[in-house]
Amino acid sequence: MSDPLNPTRSLTAIIEDVMALCDERDLSLGEIIAASGRAGILPVLILVSVIVVSPLSAIPLFSSVNGMLIFLISAQIALGRRHLWLPGFLTRRQLKAERVTSSLKRLLPVAGWVDRRSKQRLSFLVRRPLSQVLMVVCGLCGLAMPFFELVPMSATLLASTVALITLAILVKDGLLATFAVLPFLLALGVITKILT
């Protein structure tokens, strides 16, 4: 079974699509997900994780909500689903368009940098069944976010892992996937240090 993605989709294009939609009005998380999901499920996962990396993560419980979305989306990708199911109580959460646009605009230079350096390398590392293992890692990152929302930087590190792993699968860059696991390991280190 082929992966549910569009390999021509760039991180910059995903962010710009959502910013264009935000020019019109305030949006729900569901509407933002729909805007990014026209190219498949993977761009949705990238966007949800990128939003957690942005200043929007300062909103109370925002990282927890997005963590649950990351878990649900990752699980469905790992199972090979091509159409997302997400609970309404998560997707109905409203976001101010101005705040979304401002936050995503700050991420555009980083997105452009990543896009320019991403290419097909060691692609066997991001094909099934290894891509499914990577999705399990993403799911674990999302599942951990609600429990560690108050731990400094942990949600950002976990979301960075998800965004980079998903982008690596999208562009078939096994080398990027290898480096993408580093924030996950760093987050584990931070969490372990605080808990001990």
pLDDT, tens digit (0-9, with 9 covering 90-100), for 19-53: 777 776 777 777 777 766 555 678 788 878 887 87
Contact 36, 9 (CB under 8 A): no
Contact 49, 163 (CB under 8 A): yes
Confidence (pTM): 0.75
**5: pLDDT confidence band, cut at 50, 70 and 90?**
very low
SS3 173: strand
Looking at per-residue confidence, does 41 or 133 come out higher? 133
For 64, residues 6+ apart whose C-beta sits below 8 A from its C-beta are 145, 146, 149
Q: Does position 187 have pLDDT exceeding 60, yes or no?
A: yes
Tell me the C-alpha distance between 75 and 95, whole Å: 25
DSSP bridge partners of 146: none
Phi, psi of 135 (to 5 degrees): -70, -30
* Range name among 39-53, 120-134, 158-172 with the lowest pLDDT average: 39-53
Mean of pLDDT values over 146-172 = 81
pLDDT, tens digit (0-9, with 9 covering 90-100), for 69-92: 899 999 988 988 777 787 777 777
Neighbours of 75 (CB within 10 A): 16
**196: pLDDT confidence band, cut at 50, 70 and 90?**
confident
